Structure 1
Amino acid sequence: MKSLCSILFFSFLAFSVNAQSVSTAYNQALADSLGADEYGMKPYVLVILKTGSSKLNDQNKVSELFRGHLNNIGKLAEEGKLVVAGPLGKNEKNYRGIFIFNTKTIEEAKDMLQTDPAIKEKLLDAELYEWYGSAALPMYLPAHTKIEKIRP
């Protein structure tokens, strides 16, 4: 019985090793330039933006801060620090949007958030999480500029 279990175990192990294969489309130079690991993935920081604690009544000031927020998104994206940003629909958790920062550390992402006037003024608060995703994620931004008719 013990030898049967050993045979089954080693057969399973051999099968699982052979189940993985190297992609024929693999591009080492591209993977290296994007910081990809062997799975084509890398760490990022995911930020969930939510309604902040500030209660400004001056709508001109609020508009100015959100214009600065959008301008900052553009600046961080151009610098390659921000690879995804976008609003969320209405929800009961007061989540407003997401960012995915092209950094491995939450500390560095916190520093980047401090360049956002809406966050600095507490109109928006942020929850930060380590996230593991495709290293090719930043490649969609150049394509987006080709389909974006109106820039916010």
Structure 2
Amino acid sequence: MKKLFFTALLILGYNVIFAQETKPTYDEKLAKELGADERGMKMYVFCILKTGTNTTATKEERNTYFQGHMANINRLAKEGKLAVAGPFEKNDRNYRGIFIFNVTTIEEAQALVETDPAVKAKIFEVELTPLYCTAALMEISKIHDKITKPKL
């Protein structure tokens, strides 16, 4: 029993040491494609969507705005301008969702949010702030497509 325990401990120790010695391989081409700096990071603009001031839109109007909102998200993602988008669960801050724009200035991000029908209609208001984050965010859409089941 002691030999079995000792052998298992040796194997576990070897695996821990081996795992610690494995280093990621730097891919210079990918880093350049993604616009990464020497830390693998880059600038984006983070956007919080909040409940807007338009409280008089009918259900049909809201549906139309949200259809346009989703179409705009898809367009911006395909153009490479949107790294991440998603809704928040109900909360006490009136936060509705986020965008992370693949742009470096607030002005560029403002121009992009102004293309959103739900923002134009004041269904959403936005707050924009610069964000320094991993350049790998731009790979998320490729991975997301691989884990999204097709609609039948």
* SS state at 1:72 partner: helix
Change (3 A) 1:141 1:24: closer
**What does 1:57-72 align with in structure 2 at a 5 Å threshold?**
57-72=57-72
TM norm structure 1: 0.81
**What does 1:1-152 align with in structure 2 at a 5 Å threshold?**
25-149=25-149
- State the AA in 2 paired with 1:84: V
- State the AA in 1 paired with 2:129: Y
| Cα RMSD (Å) | 1.3
Distance 1:66 1:57 in 2: 12
- State the AA in 1 paired with 2:122: K
The alignment-based identity, stated in percent, is 50
Please state how far the C-alpha of 1:90 moved relative to its aligned partner.
1.0
* SS state at 2:104 partner: coil
- State the AA in 2 paired with 1:121: A
Distance 1:140 1:90 in 2: 25
Deviations 1:42-80 (A, max 9, x none): 000000000001112411011000110011000000000
Q: Where in structure 2 are there 5+ consecutive unaligned residues? A: 1-22
* SS state at 1:80 partner: coil
Distance 2:67 2:148 in 1: 18
Alignment check: 8 A CA contact 1:56 1:62 kept: no
Distance 1:57 1:25 in 2: 53
